[in-house]
Amino acid sequence: MKLLDSLDFFSLLLWFYLNFFLFLYPVSFCWSVYNPEMTTPTLEIALSAEDLAEAYSLHPLNHPGLLLVSTAFDGSGFGSWKQTMMIALSTKGKLYFVDGSLARAALASPDFKKWTKCNDMVMSWILNVLSKNNADSIIYAKTARQIWVELKERFGQINGSKLYQVEKDICTMTMS
């Protein structure tokens, strides 16, 4: 029960979705040894033909100006913003572009144009929901994955001293 208390609603929802999805649609996992777009190894999922078709499809209502979440990310509350973005990207079938499971198609591949078009769409969706300062600092990334990893590295870090201070403040609070 302690584990459930420490998870917020979106983490629990994501955990349930991933476990349910992986139970219904088992996939094979493999570690990539080298990822030319990022310096860190990523977990790659062998995508089925249906998954690729979903990843490369764009609905007529999907456009570069679409706002996937209602609040622009201004540098605070990264955890909840990230969860809502992951849910939104998942519903669009584009989570593969940020989680590292769909690598860039080779230039000679017949999927290269589709990959580029969808990657650019996902990049625009992410940039649309960033504050101007954050968007300007990351605009020259070449892939949605690069943007995602950069945001995680910048804002996903827990500030240890701030966390300690908040915990200390909570412990010393009294009800009046």
Distance from C-alpha of 82 to C-alpha of 94, rounded to nearest angstrom: 14
* DSSP, res 33: S
What pTM does this model have? 0.65
Distance from C-alpha of 29 to C-alpha of 26, rounded to nearest angstrom: 10
Distance from C-alpha of 164 to C-alpha of 135, rounded to nearest angstrom: 30
- Contact yes or no for 129/67 (Cβ under 8 A): yes
The pLDDT score that the predictor gives to residue 16 is 57
Distance from C-alpha of 15 to C-alpha of 46, rounded to nearest angstrom: 20
| Confidence category of residue 29, pLDDT binned at 50, 70, 90 | very low
| Confidence category of residue 125, pLDDT binned at 50, 70, 90 | very high
The pLDDT score that the predictor gives to residue 173 is 78
Write the pLDDT tens digit of every residue in 146-176: 999 999 999 987 666 666 777 778 888 776 6
What's at 172, amino acid-wise? T
Distance from C-alpha of 153 to C-alpha of 139, rounded to nearest angstrom: 16
The pLDDT score that the predictor gives to residue 46 is 76
- Contact yes or no for 37/143 (Cβ under 8 A): yes
